């Protein structure tokens, strides 16, 4: 798979497992949905989650991407994460639209929930993709 084919695969998929690092170095995997934008993926998360605390301490992460309802084929994207505040929910709304291709059914309630839950956006810069091959 070439780099362009790998990016196209990630674009088609929306489900994955994000692995962050616990303080003792063990991986902490969590299922996520994500949206691709250029050479990074974005994931909505709340400030209080373990994965968020892990990324604040150590921004290295791996996202294992796979098609909905299957575990193969898969692709891993490694990189460093940036946590972006989203006080008005607009970044999460843009991410929602990128993932689903539409607006939430109740836009006002969605934006309220983003504020209430203190949602932020994790931007994972893709630094390495694997497995890659010919």
Cα radius of gyration rounded to whole Å, the chain: 15
Given this model, what pLDDT does residue 133 score?
A: 58
Spatial distance between the Cα atoms of 8 and 64, rounded to a whole number of angstroms: 15
pLDDT tens-place string over residues 2-36: 889 999 999 999 999 999 999 999 999 999 999 99
Residue with tokens 């790998």: 6
Question: Three-class SS string for 78-111?
Answer: EEEEEEEECCCCHHHHHHHHHHHCCCCCCHHHHH
pLDDT over 80 at 98, yes or no: yes
**pLDDT band for position 44 (cuts 50, 70, 90):** very high
Bridge partners of 109, per DSSP, are none
């Amino acid at each position: 798979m070439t780099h362009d084919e790998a990016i196209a695969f990630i674009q088609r998929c929306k489900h994955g497992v994000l692995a962050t690092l616990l303080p003792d170095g063990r991986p902490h995997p969590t299922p996520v949905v994500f949206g691709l934008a250029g050479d990074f993926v974005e994931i909505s998360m709340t400030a209080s989650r373990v994965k968020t605390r892990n990324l604040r301490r150590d921004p290295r992460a791996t996202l294992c991407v796979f098609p909905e309802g299957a575990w193969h084929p898969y692709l891993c994207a490694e990189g460093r994460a940036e946590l972006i505040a989203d006080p008005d929910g607009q970044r999460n709304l843009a991410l929602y639209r990128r993932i689903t291709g539409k607006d939430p059914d109740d836009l006002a309630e969605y934006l309220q929930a983003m504020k209430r839950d203190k949602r932020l956006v994790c931007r994972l810069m893709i630094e390495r993709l694997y497995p890659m091959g010919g």
